[in-house]
Structure 1
Amino acid sequence: MPQWLNTWNSRLAKWLWWIVLVGVVAALPVMYARVQTESSSDKVAIVMDYRDLLQIGNTQANPQAFVQEQLKLLKDAGVNGMAVFESTLEELSWATEVNVYNASQAALLEGRVSPTEDNGTYVIFNNPEHEQVLRPIIEWAFKHHGADVTNWSVKDHSGLRINMGYDDAYLRPMQPNPIAMKMLKDAGFQIVPRLSDRFDPFDAAEMDKWLQSFQDLGVSRIVFDGDAVTGFGKGMKFGGVQRFANELKAHNIGVAIFENLKVPQKGMANLANLLKYNAIRAHSVGEAEMTTIKNPVLEDRLVLAVKDRSIRLLYLNAIAVRDAVKGKVSHPLGNIIDVLHGDEESKGVVHQLKDFGYELGVPNAFDVHKAPQETILRGLAALGAIALCALTLGLFLPSLLLPVLVIGSIGGAGLYVLNSTLMVQALALFAAIAAPTASVVLLIKRLRVLRESAGNEPISGSRRLGGAVLLLVRTTILSMAAIPFIVALLNHISYSLVLQQFRGVSLLHLVPIGLVALYVFLYGSGDTVLGNTKRILSMPLTVLWIVGIGILGAAGMYYLTRTGNAGQVSGLEMQFRSILENTFGVRPRTKEFLLGHPLFFVGIFLALRYRWAMVLLIAGTIGQLSIVDTFAHIHTPLLLSLIRIFLGLGIGVLIGLAIIAVWQIGEKVWDRWVRGARSAV
Structure 2
Amino acid sequence: MFQTLETINRRAKLWLWLIVIVGVVASLAVVVQRVQTEQTSKQVELVFDYRDLVDMSIYQPNPSQYIKDQLVVLKDAGVESMAMFESSLQEFKSAKRIWLYNSNEAALLQGKTANLNENYTYLLFAGPEEERALQPIIEETFMNLGIHVKLWSFDGKNGLILETPYESAVMKSMPQDPIAMKLLRDQGFTIVPRLSDSMPYDPEQVEDLLAMYEQNGVTRILFEGDAVKGFNDDLKQSSLTHFAETLNKHGIGLAAIEGLKAPQKGFSKLAYLTHYNVVRIHSISEQESFNDPKVLGDRLSLAVKDRNIRMFYLNAIVKRDTSKSEIVDSVDNIVKSLEEPGNAKAKIEHDGFTFGEAKPFEVVDSSWQRYAKGVTVIGGVALIALMISYFVPYVMMAAFVVGLIGAGGLFVLHSKLLEQGLALGVAISAPTIAMVLAVRRIDMSSIDLSFGPRLGRAVALFLRTSVLSLIAVPYVIALMNNITYSLVLDQFRGISLLFIAPVGLTALYVFLYRGESVFKEAKRWLSMPLTLLWVAAFVVVAGAGYYYLSRSGNAGSVSSIELMFRSLLENTFGVRPRNKEFLLAHPIFLVGAFIALRYRWGQFIFMIAAVGQMSMVNTFTHLHTPVIISLIRTVLGMGLGLIIGIIGILVWSIIERCWESWRLKLKL
**Class of the TM-score when normalised by the shorter of the 2 chains:** over 0.9
Q: Distance in 2 between matches of 1:552 and 1:328?
A: 55
- SS at 1:280's partner residue? strand
Q: What is the alpha-carbon distance in structure 2 between the residues aligned to residue 187 and residue 34 of structure 1?
A: 39
Aligned to 2:334: 336
- Determine which of 369, 372, 376 is the counterpart of 2:371: 376
Aligned position for 2:167: 167
Q: Residues 635-663 of structure 1: CA distance to partner in whole angstroms, max 9, x if unpaired?
A: 00010100010011111111111111111
Q: Deviations over 1:41-78 (max 9, x none)?
A: 01011101111111111222111111111111111112
Tell me if structure 1 keeps the 8 A contact 2:99–2:124: yes
Question: Whole-Å Cα distance in 2 between the matches of residues 557 and 630 of structure 1?
Answer: 20
Match of residue 516, structure 1, among 506, 531, 534:
506
1:361 corresponding residue in structure 2: 356
Counterpart amino acid of 1:370? D
Aligned to 1:315: 313
Matches of 2:81 and 2:564, distance apart in 1: 30
Cα deviation 1:516-545 (Å, max 9, x = unaligned):
0000000123x2100111111111222222
Q: CA deviation at 1:146?
A: 4.0
Instruction: Give the number of aligned pairs.
Output: 668
* Aligned twin of 1:638: 627
Partners of 1:389 and 1:434 within 8 A in 2: yes
Conserved in 2, the CA contact under 8 Å of 1:54 and 1:91? no
Matches within 5 A, 1:27-426: 27-200=27-200, 202-291=201-290, 293-322=291-320, 327-343=325-341, 346=342, 348-371=343-366, 373-426=368-421
Give distance in 2, aligned partners of 1:579 and 1:127. Answer: 57
Once the two structures are TM-superposed, the CA of residue 235 in structure 1 deviates from its matched residue by 3.8
Give the equivalent residue in structure 2 for 1:625.
614
Residue type at the aligned position of 1:329: I
**Alpha-carbon separation, structure 2, partners of 1:146 and 1:2:** 83
Provide the C-alpha distance between the structure 2 equivalents of 1:472 and 1:412, rounded to a whole number of angstroms: 33
Written as runs of structure 1 = structure 2, the 5 A alignment for 1:533-552 is 533-552=522-541
Q: Which moved more, 1:120-129 or 1:489-498?
A: 120-129
Shift of 1:150: 1.4
Worse-matched range after superposition: 330-339 or 237-246: 330-339
Q: Is the 8 A contact 1:47 1:80 kept in 2?
A: yes
Partner-residue secondary structure (3-state), 2:633: helix
What is residue 555 of structure 1 aligned with on the other side? 544
Selected match of 1:596 from 581, 585, 590: 585
* Distance (Å, rounded) in 2 between the aligned partners of 1:473 and 1:237: 59
1:475 alignment partner in structure 2: 465
Q: In structure 2, what is the Cα distance between the partners aligned to 1:472 and 1:188?
A: 57
The AA in structure 1 aligned to 2:478 is: A
Q: Secondary structure at the match of 2:390?
A: helix
Q: Which deviations, in whole Å up to 9, do the C-alpha atoms of 1:542-588 show, x marking residues without a partner? A: 22222221221121111112222221111221111111111111111
Equivalent-residue separation in structure 2 for 1:164 and 1:548 (angstroms): 71
Report the Cα distance in structure 1 between the residues aligned to 2:253 and 2:393, rounded to whole angstroms.
53
CA shift digits 1:484-531 (9 cap, x unpaired): 100110001011011111100000000000000000000123x21001
> How far off its partner does 1:144 sit?
3.2
The structural deviation recorded for 1:326 is 5.8
Separation in structure 2 between the aligned mates of residue 647 and residue 332 of structure 1, nearest angstrom:
37
Spell out, residue by residue over 1:309-342, the C-alpha distance to the aligned partner (whole angstroms, 9 max, x if none): 1011111112334566765433222211111122
Output the CA distance in 2 between the equivalents of 1:2 and 1:412: 30
> Cα distance, 1:158 vs. partner?
0.6
Separation of aligned partners in 2, 1:551 and 1:628: 26
SS at match of 1:159: strand
Q: Aligned letter for 1:40?
A: T
For residue 632 of structure 1, report the CA deviation from its aligned partner.
Answer: 0.3
Q: How far did residue 307 of structure 1 move? A: 1.0
Check conservation: 1:78, 1:341, Cα contact below 8 A.
no
Amino acid across the alignment from 2:404: S
Q: Deviations over 1:440-496 (max 9, x none)?
A: 10010001101xx34xxx331110111111111111111000001001100010110
Q: For the structure 1 residues 549 and 146, does the alpha-carbon distance in structure 2 shift closer, same or farther, using more than 3 Å as the test?
A: farther
Secondary structure of the structure 1 residue equivalent to 2:226? coil
Counterparts of 2:161 and 2:601, CA distance in 1: 84
| Amino acid across the alignment from 2:397 | L
Does residue 586 in structure 1 map to residue 575 in structure 2?
yes
Q: Does 1:443 align with 2:433?
A: no
1:497 counterpart letter in structure 2: L
Deviation at 1:595, TM superposition (A): 1.2
Shift of 1:164: 2.5
Greater CA drift, 475-484 or 109-118 = 109-118
- Tell me how far 1:665 sits from its aligned partner: 1.8
Aligned to 1:311, the other structure's residue is in SS state coil
CA distance in 2 between counterparts of 1:146 and 1:567 reads: 51
Q: Which amino acid aligns with 1:237?
A: K
Determine if contact 2:231/2:239 at 8 Å carries over to the other structure. yes
CA distance in structure 2 between the aligned counterparts of 1:655 and 1:467, rounded to whole angstroms:
17
Deviating more after overlay: 538-547 vs 359-368? 538-547
Conserved 8 A contact 1:295-1:335: yes
Name the SS of the counterpart of 1:133 in structure 2: helix
Contact 2:45–2:81 (CA<8 Å) still a contact in 1? yes
Question: In 2, Cα distance between the equivalents of 1:127 and 1:448?
Answer: 89
Rounded Cα–Cα distance in structure 1 between residues aligned with 2:106 and 2:11: 92
Which AA in structure 2 matches 1:234? D
SS of residue matched to 1:315: strand
User: Secondary structure of the equivalent of 1:396?
Assistant: coil
Whole-Å separation in 1 of the counterparts to 2:357 and 2:168: 37
Amino acid at match of 1:581: E
Distance 1:554 1:487 in 2: 33
**TM-score computed with the length of structure 1 as normaliser:** 0.95
Q: CA deviation at 1:278?
A: 0.6
The whole-number CA distance in structure 1 between the counterparts of 2:127 and 2:438 is 79
CA shift, 1:296, in A, is: 2.6
Could you tell me whether the CA contact under 8 Å between 1:602 and 1:660 is conserved in 2? yes
Q: 1: distance between equivalents of 2:140 and 2:317?
A: 30
* Contact kept? 2:172, 2:199, Cα under 8 Å: no
Q: Which moved more, 1:357-366 or 1:589-598?
A: 589-598
1:343-388 Cα deviation digits (max 9, x unpaired): 3xx4x21111101111110011100002451111111111111111
Query: Contact 2:289–2:333 (CA<8 Å) still a contact in 1?
Result: no
Provide the rounded CA distance (Å) in 2 between the counterparts of 1:102 and 1:336.
40
Whole-Å separation in 2 of the counterparts to 1:9 and 1:261: 49
Q: Residue 593 of structure 1: CA displacement?
A: 1.2
Aligned partner of 2:558 in structure 1 is 569
- Provide the TM-score with structure 2 as the length reference: 0.97
Q: Which moved more, 1:513-522 or 1:89-98?
A: 89-98
- Is the contact between residue 29 and residue 371 of structure 1 (CA under 8 Å) also seen in structure 2? no
Closer, same or farther: CA 368–65 of 1 in aligned 2, 3 Å: same
Classify 1:146/1:603 alpha carbon distance in 2 versus 1 (closer, same or farther; 3 Å): farther
Give per-residue Cα distances to partners, 1:393-437, cap 9 Å, x unaligned.
101111111111111111111111111110111000000000000
2:44 partner SS: strand
Q: Secondary structure at the match of 2:161?
A: strand
Gaps of 5+ in 2: none
**Counterpart amino acid of 2:120?**
G
Residue identity opposite 2:558 in structure 1: V
Residue 648 of structure 1 corresponds to 637
**What is the distance in 2 between the residues matched to 1:381 and 1:371?**
16
